Amino acid sequence: MYALYAPIQATYKESQSLKGLAKMKYDKEHKDSLSKYPELKEHMQRLLQNGEKITPKQWKAEIQSLQSEYDSIGKEQSKTATELAYAEVISYNKKNLERELQNESRQQNRTKRREEEI
């Protein structure tokens, strides 16, 4: 939201600093931006809580710290996902081995029964 607000705010401040014919000419050239300013200012004030000030430098610093935290969490998440995949493969292999052992045991029992019948 600030990316939309900042250029329009700069246009508004420039307009306020001018006087006379220069102001009229500037206002006419930037009519669209200046007409959006009150709405955007109100929206920004609603987004900011308890009368906070607009501090893009602090926001950027916070974004960078949050991004680094996000990256570290992403690395942990991928490591955890890999470990989970390993655990699932091991669990599947264990069940598969148990099933194969049961099948071998059944086959040996069948073979013994056939031999006994003969």
Q: What is the pLDDT of residues 23-76, one digit of tens each?
A: 999 989 988 888 888 888 888 877 777 766 767 788 788 889 999 999 989 989
What is the average per-residue pLDDT within 4-28? 88
What 8-state DSSP symbol labels residue 18? -
Q: Answer with the residue of higher pLDDT: 19 or 49.
A: 19
pLDDT confidence of residue 51? 65
The percent of residues in the chain predicted with pLDDT above 70, rounded, is 96
> What is the rounded distance in angstroms from the CA atom of residue 115 to the CA atom of residue 54?
90
**Is 99's pLDDT higher than 80?**
yes
Q: How far is CA 30 from CA 8, 21, 23, in A?
A: 9, 14, 10
Confidence of residue 89 (pLDDT cuts 50, 70, 90): very high
Contact 7, 17 (CB under 8 A): no
Nearest-angstrom CA–CA distance, 118 and 106: 18
